[in-house]
Amino acid sequence: DQQVKQNSPSLSVQEGRISILNCDYTNSMFDYFLWYKKYPAEGPTFLISISSIKDKNEDGRFTVFLNKSAKHLSLHIVPSQPGDSAVYFCAASVISNQFYFGTGTSLTVIP
């Protein structure tokens, strides 16, 4: 059974607006969460992470929010830019063990 789920396969947003990508997980032992960005025919690129002791982490235009009680995390991109168009994967792990990945959300930012 999939432990990390991204229920929205795709998302379209106007340039300059906020993009919100969501991720749910089932394993309450997960304590480290990451977001990756992936272009076709390339490997994923690390974007931002958050540990379970925090509920928010910010890096420039990217902010990740973690709601442990709901087992939910989200990635906010503000403002969205056309270059942000890619597939975004969330991943989760228990401390330094293997990561479990979601199926990805394809973001399209419309100029």
Partner 1 sequence: EADIYQTPRYLVIGTGKKITLECSQTMGHDKMYWYQQDPGMELHLIHYSYGVNSTEKGDLSSESTVSRIRTEHFPLTLESARPSHTSQYLCASRGTGLYNEQFFGPGTRLTVL
Binding site for partner 1 (CB under 8 A): 2, 4, 9, 32, 34, 36, 41-46, 49, 51, 89, 91, 95-96, 98-104
The sign of the torsion formed by the CA atoms of 52, 53, 54, 58 equals negative
Residue of 71, 73, 39 whose CA lies nearest to 56: 73
State in angstroms the smallest separation of the CB of 104 from partner 1: 7
State in angstroms the smallest separation of the CB of 47 from partner 1: 9
Report d(CA 58, CA 105) in Å as an integer: 20
State in angstroms the smallest separation of the CB of 80 from partner 1: 22
